[in-house]
Every structure is written in structure tokens, then in C-alpha cells.
Amino acid sequence: MNTKTNTLAAITGALLACTVATAAELADTARIDNYLANELAIREIPGLVALVVDEDEVLFVEAHGQRNVADGLPMTTDTIFRIASMTKPIATTAIMMLVEEGKLSLDEAISDYVPEYAEIEVISNFNASDGSFTTRAPASPITIRQMLSHSSGLAYSFASDTVSALNGNGINGITVPLLYDPGTGWSYSHGISVVARVLEDIEGIGLDVFMKQRLFDPLGMNDTSFVVPTSKNARVTTTHNRNAEDAFIENANPDEIRSGVSGDGGLNSTASDYARFIQLILNDGVTADGERLLSSAAVAELGRNQLGDRLVSLQDEPSPNLARSFPLGANRDGFGLGFQVTAAHSIPDMRAPGSMSWAGIFNTEFWIDPATGIGGVLLMQYLPFYDPDAIEVLLGFEEAVYSELR
């Protein structure tokens, strides 16, 4: 063997060693599975599906409990869940496709497309006792970037005492003033749904059609849709509500399982389907078949903190039966375009800084950890959102995964 061949062999060997060293592997998946089974029994949660994925394959997937308690149907790994606001990161990914194509700019004013937002004002004084308030003009227009990063000043009523009070006084929709000047705070809102409607106007098709053509079909997300085909109804889990006595009240599924098409919620999906979306992000915008759907720069922008020196803030709890205060990482993390972005921390056996995550109101959660090369999905289906038991299971699942990660 000549010197050139020896050198090539050495380089090839080094590259293979790096590949082996960086490939994700879970040492003991049984420990993770046992943790989930035990927690489900202790906390009497009806059912869940948990999954861990790396760039190329599923490392762990298990189902526990029941998807339909009344009918005695077991939870299965292909169970379909209402993923609610886990729709948002998919919608912002779709929107970034238009940005890449030059059809939309993140720093354009949303009022250029939805003129009503040119008239919106900011609360300058608010009286919580009677809901009265005064307003002023905002310091700057709301941009599309701010709509996608929840820094517009808009807020959902279930996450804001102020907006909840205003709604109670009959102030709804576009007439609700902003909580703060655009770009100066963080509050969870419907902004992504507004920009998704802009996408529909630009493309001349519904968001559901755009997502199917540009994301779901190329990724093989065949169980993800706003309307569940009747042939798949039996695979859809029921929802539950946890009452004041900590009992779970099951809600039977309707004959037709559908939701309105929106960028801020409504999709039905499985853990395996969502894993394909996670892999798209882990692979910098390329599908398992090698098709590039989004540039590396666009993926990076989705996961880049858009808040500057501001932080994600803990949201109010005006409707505790619907949602408790959220999110984890409040007063520490940043926010990208549709994704919460993990800031530096010193917590062992947890996702790395720069990880991207979000959740859905029925206690569905996911994270994407580009530094480590893995993502996780934990799907439950009950209210209230951020129920302490659901959060404890999520944190324990994450710790179990990282403690077993090689």
C-alpha cells in the first residue's frame, strides 16, 4: 500500500470513527419504558405515547395506557392525537418557505397584508377591578417576525388576565389592544394564524393544501391532517378533563373528527409523523429521501432567538381548568419563529442550549436538540394544559432519555 493509499485509509478511518462517536444511541431503553409505565400508573393518566428520534431513525417508541377508556381500547404507537399548538412550528416552517422564495419578508408590517392591524393601539393604563383602560399609538408597527415569535403585544385570553378581562367586557378580535409595544415583550398569541392567512392569500390555496403538498407528502406524514379520514377514526384517542377532585372525565370522540384550518392549532398527528418533522429540522431542511425542503439558513432562523435581550415570560392563569401557568424555561429561554429556544443552563441530563421546542394544549410536547442530534415527543390528551403531573412525566422522560444517551 503506497503513502497516498495509507493517507486515504487513515482519513476514511477517522471519518468513520467520528460517525460512530456522534451517532445517537440509547443504552437502556427498558429503563425509559419502565419509567413511563410506572408514572402512568402512579398518576393515573389515561394514556401516552413517547418517542425519541435521531437524524435518521427512531431510537425509542412506546405506548402505555388506553386511547379510549370507555371502549377499553389500548394506546398504540400509531394512535392519532390532537396536537393543537404543535401545529405552530409546522406553520412557521411553511411560512419560511415563502420567505425563502422572496414572497414575504419577516420584517414587513403585518398591516401591509391585514390593514386592520394598522389601527391597533397599546394599553397605557388598565384597571383590573372594572376592566377599564386607556390606549395610545404603538411605538412601531407589528412585523411578521414579531407575529411568529409571540412578541407582537397580542395575547390569548387563556394566557393573559388582561385579555381575559377585556373579552369578558365584550372586547374581542382585532379590537383588543396590544399589551405592550411590538418587540418589547413576550406573550403567547394567535399571531402565527394571522400570518398563515397571509400565506393563503399569497399562494391562493388553503394552508392545509400547502402543508400537504410542501411538507406532509415529501416527509411521509400520512397521518397528519386537520380532518381525520373516517377510516382512521378508531385510531384517534379520546380527550379527558381533570376535575377539581383530580378525576379524569373522558370525552367521547365525535363521529367526524375535524378542526378548522389554522396556523396556530388544529392538526391531528401521530408521534411517528411528528418525528419526521423533527428529523427535517435535525437534517437542516432535508428529508430522509434527500429532498431539500428548506435551506440550512432558514432552519437556523427558525431556531434563532428573536427576542434579543428579552426572555420568554411566565403566562397568567385566568382559566386554570383549561391551562395552568406556562412555559417551562420562563424567565430564562428565548423564542425563535414558532419554537421556544433553550438558553444556557446547568441542568444535567436535559436538552442542550439551542434546543427548539413547543407544546399543545392537550399536553402534547416535543423538543429538538441539534447539538445532541436527537428529538423527543411525548403525547398525552387531557386538560388542563401544563397540569403538574403531565409536566413531571415530561421532565422525567427527558431525564431518562439523556441519562441513557450515548
164 labelled catalytic:
no
8 A C-beta contact, residue 125 and residue 133: yes
What would the grid cell of residue 288 be?
Answer: 430522509
8 A C-beta contact, residue 120 and residue 142: yes
Q: Which CA distances in Å does 390 have to 36, 43, 45, 404?
A: 11, 9, 8, 21
What gap in Å lies between CA 390 and CA 158, rounded to an integer? 19
8 A C-beta contact, residue 224 and residue 377: no
Q: Which is the catalytic residue, given 156, 188, 274, 402?
A: 188
Closest residue by Cα to residue 311 from 342, 326, 333, 285: 333
8 A C-beta contact, residue 259 and residue 193: no
Angle at which helices 29-43 and 388-403 pack, to 10 degrees? 170
Burial 142-159 (b: 16+ CB within 10 A, else e): bbbbbbbbbbbbbbbbbb
8 A C-beta contact, residue 219 and residue 212: no
What gap in Å lies between CA 356 and CA 281, rounded to an integer? 9
Q: Which is the catalytic residue, given 88, 117, 151, 382?
A: 88
156 labelled catalytic:
no
Q: Which three-class secondary structure state does DSSP give residue 43? A: helix
What gap in Å lies between CA 269 and CA 248, rounded to an integer? 23
Q: Which is the catalytic residue, given 85, 160, 193, 225?
A: 85
Does the CA dihedral 279-285-290-292 come out positive or negative? positive
CB < 8 Å & 24+ apart, contacts of 351-358: 351/376, 351/398, 351/402, 354/303, 356/89, 356/281, 356/302, 356/303, 358/85, 358/86, 358/88, 358/89
188 labelled catalytic:
yes
Task: Give catalytic residues, as residue numbers.
Answer: 85, 88, 188
